[in-house]
Amino acid sequence: MEAPGTFRARIAEPWSLGLAGLLLLLYFGGLGAVPLFEPDEGRYTEIPREMLAAGEFVLPHLNGVLYFEKPPLPYWLTASAMALFGPGPFATRFWNALLALAGLGLAAWLCGRLGGPRAGLLAALALGTSPLYLAMAHVATLDMSVSVFITLSLACFWFFQAAEENAPRRRLYAWGMFGGAALAVLCKGLIGMAVPGAVIGLFILISGRWGLLRKVPWLSGALLFLAVAAPWRVLAALRNPGFLKIYIVREHFLRYLTPVSDRQEPWWFFLPVLAAGFLPWTGLLHASAGLLPRPLRLLRRSRADLLFLLLWAGFIFLFFSASESKLVPYMLPALPPLAILAALGLDRLWGQGGRLPRTVRATGALGGLLWTGAGAAFLWAGLGRVAAFSAPDERFPLLAGLGSLLAAVSALGAAACLAGRVRPAVLLFTLSGACFFGGLWAAAPQAGIGRNVEPFAAYLKAHMKPGDELYSYRCYPQTLPVYLERPIGVVAFWGELTFGVSQLPEEERRRRFPHPEEFKPLWDSDRRVYVVTDRESLPLMEREGLGHATLLMGRRIVVLLTNKPPGPDDVSR
């Protein structure tokens, strides 16, 4: 490997700038081309929209009622993008994609300090083209932001503990550790502090580096943490007495310890999530085994970097596996250390002639073949969905071509692994990530068919007149208020709006969130009332005496009804 500090070492390989450009294209290309997904993107767009509309940035509102389930930093960021770019999917996803790129930079920075510039580039490529990370960079949820700030906190801790005693940057790294954790807390609550704190604590305990505790600037670090994480919580608690109960008790402790969120999965749920979410690099992760000392008990002293990365990924896996609430994106913060481990192993082999050992050849080829099979499955599932819900259009051949290319490139990568050739395998697996993104972009509009309410919103905007009413019945389509740019009434369904609805005066509650018997007088009145519901609720409406005329019906579940016969300007289909 070239000496650190030379220009060639900094760029690692001639094609590195091209690959960096590829990552930029992957993360911002087509960002606003796909309609918002239900329910998460609707929720995390409507809250910032209401913040901007009302000028209320302390107490988040969803559909016009208080919503305290999550902290506000992602809402504030999205609101800033909406103010800058205007409303739309691009603004909703802008900060998510930008933070994802920042996460790649952090992984490259940390890995580059551990193994050199080429290793840093390999870490960015492995993380940036893994399907879970790439997919979540294009879907507006809170998981990417909390993952990036946890990565920032842990990377700064490593730089802090590795810095010389009186190095001028050491205090900055310590503040970065506290500040990153505070920003993570401001994104998704106490896990932003619990995860970095537990990983750092375990590392100090196992490595025996107790002296680090005396070198941490606890006072200034704690003040920085509180200055970032505390003000919103204090203001929200002062302005609403129910804040602490719903935000701290229910959304942190009860969600983790009990099945209150109804997201139970078996203990092994995250094993396939990690294995599949890191394909095709999962097989090449085995390359890092060659870095482990023999005997393994020497790990704590001779390879503290590997110990730190293993604790980082391992704690996140075990912590969320023990929870009563499990969702696929919870494993996102475990991907950066896995990418760094894989990159360190591949970089060592790269510098030793670019040949894979036999065991790594087998696991690498297996990862490539699994990714090939996933590409083929993705292709046929996407084609089947296109064929089932729409006439073949320009997306049909595009999806077919990209799915086939993904399978072919992954198969070639598997063949390169079998041949023991590191460099072609890395290049081909990276290109397979580009094919995966292209397939996502081509298939995404079909993924939401039957749940996409944008056509219904366009119809309502064109036909609703002053005095008309709009409700959803026994459901809450979260993107509908976004497209209509206004809250809607909801009949017989509270769900995650329960706390906010409970805070309303009874008269307003009966008007905006009525029970069926409270809604019937309005439905039977002379006013025109529109209702969005799902097909399963139609028989129930009939039994409750809510006769209707159907105006629009989605291909799967969404239905638009009215209590009046269609007029000459209405279109039924």
pLDDT at 8: 44
Mean of pLDDT values over 283-296: 81
- Kind and range of the H or E run holding 531: strand 529-534
| pLDDT tens-digit readout, 68-98 | 888 999 999 999 999 999 888 999 999 999 9
Residues 520-538 have a mean pLDDT of 88
Query: What pTM does this model have?
Result: 0.90
39: cis peptide before it, omega within 30°?
yes
Which of 371, 135, 535, 1 lies closest to 143, judged by CA?
135
Mean pLDDT, the chain, integer: 84
Residue ranges covered by each domain of the chain:
7-30+96-352, 372-447, 454-562
CA distance 382 to 379: 5
How far is Cα 229 from Cα 19, in angstroms, rounded to an integer? 36
Rank 32-41, 469-478, 544-553 by mean pLDDT and report only the highest: 469-478
Q: What is the mean pLDDT of residues 300-326?
A: 89
The burial class, CB within 10 Å (0-12 / 13-18 / 19+), for 73 is buried
102 has pLDDT over 80? yes
* Nearest-angstrom CA–CA distance, 230 and 202: 26
Residues 110-137 have pLDDT tens digits of: 999 999 888 998 999 999 989 899 889 9
Average pLDDT over residues 469-489: 92
Task: Note whether 33 and 91 are within 8 A (CB).
Answer: no
**CA–CA separation, 418 vs 413, rounded Å?**
9
Residue 176, token pair as written in the block: 């970065």
The residue with greater pLDDT, 309 or 400, is 309
Is the predicted pLDDT of residue 289 greater than 90, yes or no? no
Contacts of 531 (CB under 8 A, 6+ apart): 470, 471, 472, 473, 491, 546, 548, 560, 561, 562, 563
pLDDT value for 265 = 76
Residues 6+ apart with CB under 8 A from 207: 300, 301, 304, 307
* Candidate from 110-119, 263-272, 505-514 with smallest mean pLDDT: 263-272
pLDDT tens digit sequence for 332-345? 999 999 999 999 99
Distance between the two ends of the chain, CA-based, in angstroms? 66
Identify the residue whose tokens are 């028989």.
539
Task: Tell me the two tokens of residue 505.
Answer: 């005066």
- DSSP annotation string for 464-528: --TT-EEEEES---TTHHHHHTS--EEES--GGGHHHHHTS-HHHHHHHS--HHHHHHHHTSSS-
Computed on alpha carbons and rounded to an integer, the radius of gyration of the chain in Å comes to 26
Is the bond into 280 cis (omega within 30 degrees of 0)? yes
Separation CA 316–CA 199 (nearest Å): 9
Residue 363 pLDDT > 50: yes
In the chain, the percentage of residues whose pLDDT exceeds 90 is 42
Residue 328 has pLDDT above 80, yes or no: yes
- Give the model's pLDDT for residue 447: 57
| Structure confidence at residue 197 (pLDDT) | 94
The pLDDT of residue 222 is above 90: yes
pLDDT at 391 over 80: no
User: Among 2-6, 314-318, 407-411, 507-511, where is mean pLDDT lowest?
Assistant: 2-6
Query: Phi-psi region for residue 161, left (φ > 0), alpha (ψ -120 to 50) or beta?
Result: alpha
CB of 555 within 8 A of CB of 450?
Answer: yes
The mean per-residue pLDDT over the stretch 310-318 comes to 95
Beta strands 65-66 and 61-62, pairing class: antiparallel
Asked if the model's pLDDT at residue 2 lies above 90, the reply is no
- Is 305:288 a contact under the CB 8 Å cutoff? no
Check pLDDT > 50 for residue 243: yes
At residue 104, does pLDDT exceed 60? yes
Residue 552 phi, psi dihedral angles, 5° rounding: -135, 145
